[in-house]
A and B are shown apart, each in its own frame.
Chain A
């Protein structure tokens, strides 16, 4: 009985550690940016800015943070007007997936 409770507690602790380790992506608007990119792969900078109601500087700050962590990549595209495209990296996809899965498991344990 005690052993199973210990295992359960250890699992919960490991979930908490995973969430704590990824605290950088838990903050808004970074969580929204990654979630959107996780579903759509790439989104334009101006679209992100308008969607999240952020100033260009503010969005740039958060994107640079995510880029530094290796979760997103930013590239310029020459269309009929210059566009900045934000894309999720494979590392970003994996980390985000792990984060959301952990969060879901943790919620499942709450009675």
Chain B
């Protein structure tokens, strides 16, 4: 009986460790995107000055910044999430349809983010950058709703998503009023604020889970 007690205690510990690793992964990913996205937008804003300074074509600089952001961000995200160990012990119930979403939620999330981030490519120039705010907010809110069913509440995703969605209204207005530079700088700030605060909050919550205070 003592052995069985040990096993049930250990299951709780493993569950906590798994939650900690997953939430920390979200934190790291949000922090890295919170750095990459504003940095890319800043390069877009200062594109003319930078292209003169570096003596390169403006379009080349834009292409390079976007390419590096997507390449570095995606590979970092994949590396972080794929290195989170799957500590859940498989049971027969896992083959039920309801848990299939749970099993493949990572792929579903990845596909959703990828598809949503293709939408801004079809948006006309002045609204191009602001449209990233809208798709990011939709992706974050979708992630929150999906994760709520599988991993519990990731409040930081909902808050960051809502902040981005609400910010998209004044940002769109700025573009309408032809305040393009101001809109770009504000977009960079909004991205940095929502993603970095969400990421650091996620890391803080991961620590609390590890200590068993959550």
Pick from A19, A27, A31, A40: contact of B10, CB under 8 Å: A31
Which A residues touch B14, using CB under 8 A? Answer: 35-36, 39
Contact B6–A28 (Cβ < 8 Å):
yes
Which positions 45-59 of chain A face chain B at CB distance < 8 Å? 47, 50-53
Contact A50–B2 (Cβ < 8 Å):
no
Which A residues touch B6, using CB under 8 A? Answer: 26-28, 31-32
**A92-111 Cβ-contact flags toward B at 8 Å (1 or 0):** 00000000000100010000
Contact A32–B13 (Cβ < 8 Å):
yes
Which B residues touch A107, using CB under 8 A? Answer: 4
Q: How far is the CA of A52 from the CA of B16 in the complex (A)?
A: 10
Interface residues on A, range: 10 to 19
Contact B3–A51 (Cβ < 8 Å):
no
- From known contacts A28-B6, A40-B87, A103-B3, infer whether A50 and B13 are also in contact, taking CB-CB under 8 Å: no
Which B residues touch A39, using CB under 8 A? Answer: 14, 85, 87
Q: How far is the CA of A51 from the CA of B21 in the complex (A)?
A: 12
Q: How far is the CA of A51 from the CA of B16 in the complex (A)?
A: 8
Which A residues touch B210, using CB under 8 A? Answer: 47, 50-51
Contact A53–B212 (Cβ < 8 Å):
yes
- From known contacts A26-B3, A51-B17, infer whether A32 and B211 are also in contact, taking CB-CB under 8 Å: no
Determine the residue in chain A with the shortest Cβ distance to B212. Answer: A53
Contact B13–A26 (Cβ < 8 Å):
no
Which B residues touch A35, using CB under 8 A? Answer: 10, 13-14
**B1-22 Cβ-contact flags toward A at 8 Å (1 or 0):** 0111011011001101100100
Q: How far is the CA of A38 from the CA of B14 in the complex (A)?
A: 11
Which A residues touch B9, using CB under 8 A? Answer: 28, 32
- From known contacts A28-B9, A36-B13, A36-B17, infer whether A50 and B3 are also in contact, taking CB-CB under 8 Å: no
Which B residues touch A47, using CB under 8 A? Answer: 17, 20, 210
Which A residues touch B4, using CB under 8 A? Answer: 107
Which positions 38-76 of chain A face chain B at CB distance < 8 Å? 39-40, 43, 47, 50-53
A92 CB, nearest partner CB in chain B, Å = 15
A-B contact pairs, 5 of them (CB 8 A): A26-B6, A31-B7, A31-B10, A53-B211, A53-B212
- 13 further A-B pairs in the complex, CB-CB below 8 A; given A26-B2, A35-B13, A36-B17: A26-B3, A26-B6, A28-B6, A31-B10, A32-B10, A36-B14, A39-B14, A40-B17, A43-B17, A51-B13, A51-B16, A51-B212, A53-B211
10 nearest interchain CB pairs?
Answer: A32-B10, A31-B6, A35-B10, A50-B210, A40-B85, A39-B87, A32-B13, A50-B211, A28-B6, A51-B17
